[in-house]
Amino acid sequence: MKPILISLFAAILFLPFKGLKAAGIMFISILILLSAVSILKKTKVIDAIKAIRIPEAGRFKAFLIPALLISFLAFPLMLKDYYIDVLIMSGIYTLLALGLNIIVGFTGLLNLGFAAFYAIGAYTYALLNTKLGLGFWTSLPISAGFAALAGLLLAIPALRLRGDYLAIVTLGFGEIVRLVLNNWDSLTNGPNGITGIAPPSLFGVSLGKLNLYYYLVFLLVLLAVIIIRRVESSRIGRAWIAIKENEIAASSMGINTTKYKLYAFAFGTFWAGVAGILFSAKMQFVSPESFTFMESILILSMIILGGLGNIYGAIIGAFILVLLPEVLREVQLYRMLILGIGLVLLMVFRPHGILGGVKGVHFRS
């Protein structure tokens, strides 16, 4: 009886927006869903899903990583431009996810305005290139440094706040950056954005061609993974994780929490800046539209999906969320709807993400 009442209630909720027929369909599908869930509960399938542990690569690691590297190096030789393009975007999002993972995953500081730092990186190059004529390689450290500086400037006052307050301040910062980019017409050309940004070149060879650009992105992602892994297992990384686990305990162990939180912010936003310059050099165009709140949420979803605090999880999450909509072209319209439901379900059933439970991939306690 209870499932029928619940389904009826749910169906009535949908009534005003979809009409009678859809509400009927809702009634039946929720009834089926509820019965399925109760059967799954009886047979303990849900507990099994919650308990799934992805096995550590362990013995296979020696074989897996070179295989992956070689296939990623070989992709541009055999794939069409469209796929290379998608892979480049996956790489850029991987950098963003890796950067955000440092702040949210390692240190446990929720940042809801990460797209702002991505925007700062992208616009810095766009402006340096179109107004001052600086090249990609000179701008790369400047863009990343600017993003890191912005992260630091936001973090210095904001870090006095706890958890969700900090999240809201970062959200506000993200919106302010977007509003400024949108309204400061004389500098940023407002909503129309900046066009004619030059692609990078190396030893006189332009990297504007997709397959060459792919290698540039690939190299930077590889570099990021190596550097972030080294930092994660260093003293700084351990301090971050200690702060995440219990800030008071960490500070009583002699960790200067403010200092390490600032490091996390600056280091994380640095990679957002790198992603930003790669984005604007690839598109040769930037506009405020690319850096909305939804973008921040998308990046956050990537690291949550993969498993907070896990470098490989961030990479997997970024690839899944960039590739999935491309594979499922027909459901493009429902992409965000599914993302919303997915976030709730993930939090309820598997709050630690796909790679949740794979702890200490390279440093064991």
Partner 1 sequence: MLLQQLINGLTLGGVYAIIAIGYTMVYGILELINFAHGEIYMLGAYLAIIFLGLFTAMGLTATSLPLALILTAILTIIFCSAYGFTMEKVAYKPLRNAPRLSPLISAIGVSIFLQNYVMLTQGATDKVFPQRFGEAGFQFMNVNVTYLQAMIILVSGLLMFFLHLFIHKTRMGKAMRATAQDKTMAALVGINVDSIISVTFIIGAGLAAVAGIMVASYYGLVNYFIGYIAGIKAFTAAVLGGIGNIPGAMLGGIILGLVESTGAAYISSEYKDAYAFIILIVILLIKPSGILGKTTEEKV
Residues in contact with partner 1 by the rule CB under 8 A: 9-10, 12-13, 16-18, 104, 108, 110, 157-158, 160-165, 167-169, 171-173, 175-176, 179-180, 183, 248, 293-294, 297, 300, 304, 333-334, 336-337, 339-344, 346-348, 351
Spatial CB neighbours of 7, under 8 Å, sequence gap ≥ 6: 26, 27, 28, 30, 31, 34
CB of 21 to partner 1, least distance (A): 13
What's the min distance (Å) between Cβ of 356 and partner 1? 12
Cβ partners under 8 Å of residue 44, min gap 6: none
Record the tokens describing residue 266, joined without a space: 């600056």
Q: Which is nearer to partner 1, 8 or 86 (CB)?
A: 8
- d(CA 72, CA 264) in angstroms, rounded, equals 29
Of 183 and 192, which CB lies nearer to partner 1 in the complex structure? Answer: 183
The whole-angstrom separation of Cα 187 and Cα 127 is 8
| Shortest Å, Cβ 82 to partner 1 | 26
- Our CB check for partner 1 shows the closer of 100 and 207 to be 100
Q: Which is nearer to partner 1, 165 or 363 (CB)?
A: 165
- The secondary structure of residue 102, as a DSSP letter, is I
Smallest distance from partner 1 to CB 275, Å: 21
Nearer to partner 1, 112 or 266 (CB): 112
Q: How far is the CB of 37 from partner 1 (least distance, A)?
A: 12
- Please tell me the chain's helix, strand, coil percentages from 3-state DSSP, rounded to the nearest 5: 80, 0, 20
Of 113, 87, 103, 122, the C-alpha closest to 169 is: 113
Q: Which residue's CB is nearer to partner 1, number 70 or number 156?
A: 156
Q: How far is the CB of 296 from partner 1 (least distance, A)?
A: 10
Whole-angstrom CA distances from 199 to 133, 169, 271 are 12, 34, 19
DSSP 103: I
